[in-house]
Copies of this chain bind each other. A is one copy, B any other.
Amino acid sequence: MNGQNGLNLSRRIRRTPYTSNVENHGVTGFSVVNHTLLPKSFQNTLEDDYLHLQEHVQIWDVGCQRQVEIKGKDATKLIDLMTPRTVENMGIGKCLYVPLTDTNGGIINDPILTKIAEEHYYLSVADSDVLLWARGLAIGFKLNVRIREPDVWPLAVQGPKAPLVLSEIFGDKINTLKKFNFDWFPIEGSNQIIARTGYSRNGGFEIYLSRPELGDNLWKTIWKVGEAHNIRPGCPNIIDRVEAGLLSYGNEMTVENTPLECNMDKFINIEKETDFIGKKTLLRQKQYGVRRRIRGVVFNGPKIPTITRPLEVFDKEKRKIIGSLTSGAHSPRFNKNIGVGMIDKGYWDENEKIEVKIDETNFCDGLIKNLPLVK
């Protein structure tokens, strides 16, 4: 299985308002995230799309980034309970990366929290049913909140020329948006959220379209304006993402991993006053330290295809497995293979020498690297 196989469709795997456009652009492969199609490859090579993303602008169907809307008197209280991050003094119009934790400190999801109004939030979630988690907690704790999945379908415009394209459509106000902030913009008579966020190194914008029937037109409008700027259909690019140190829930981390193992120390505040879920375990882990941690690796050997199954990382001398790479690919920038994954304590130092097992016959020299690999 060469990283791609057939995907059989059904209603259960939801289409987005943009799927038809993606098909028209010749999508060659999808993944499934939150029971929804995520385009994962087009007709160009991964490397070609990567190079394009460094210079130009791409339009991404990220409708699978489903929103969990939490609204009501106890909304902040519930979110404060769900994450080790401080959210109490968050401003309206802000976006925050908020790992959500289980009782054992394991990560349940790592969404972007968007504050729409007082006691009104969206959680833009990775691949797990946070809707059920939040509702279960709210019912059990008898909180006064309404939790639902609104009919909101994010569309990303990413790459260095994203501001050029969107400012032609939405005016100069686009350029005043700061990173991890959002504002409201008119789309065909409706008022829509556009955030300066995204899952690429150069960043860009995410349009939280709440009127799916406008999706087709929105795609076509952006495409038309984008043509002068060499726009392409795209998707989160594994080379770009690994270079940027952007983690993927389900890949680099699962519910078996804690925010401390995932280098999220700087985002979170385990000592915050609220008894958030997982606090006890995380306080203990902070005190005693973690035994594995996500690190970057740059390694030699034949060009690898996109990593679809973890590659083992070895202590070269002791012939001992010391971790695994869960995402990675060949990077044209480094002209080497790159990857990220959990690495055991003792091997975290920058430029620590390790070995990556590419396949049964290729054990390749590599170096541990700090993330991001590229600033």
Contacts and interface: CB of A to CB of B under 8 A. Distances in A.
Interface in A115-162: 127-130, 132-142
A5 B32 contact: no
Contacts of A332: none
Contacts of A27: 5-6
A228 interface: no
A362 interface: no
Copies in the complex: 2
A135 B8 CA distance: 31
Contact of A250 (B30, B35, B250, B308): B35
B12 A29 contact: no
Given A6-B4, A6-B5, A141-B140, A11 B251 contact: yes
Interface in A227-252: 248-251
Contacts of A249: 12
Nearest to A238: B10
Interface in A245-277: 248-251, 277
Contacts of A250: 10-13, 35
A66 B11 CA distance: 20
B13 A9 contact: no
Which of A1, A11, A41, A108 lies at the interface centre, i.e. has the most chain B CB atoms within 10 A of its CB? A11
Nearest to A134: B136
A58 interface: no
Contacts of A56: none
B9 A6 contact: no
Interface of A: 1, 3-13, 15, 23, 27-32, 35, 40-41, 102-103, 108, 127-130, 132-142, 248-251, 277, 306-310, 326-327
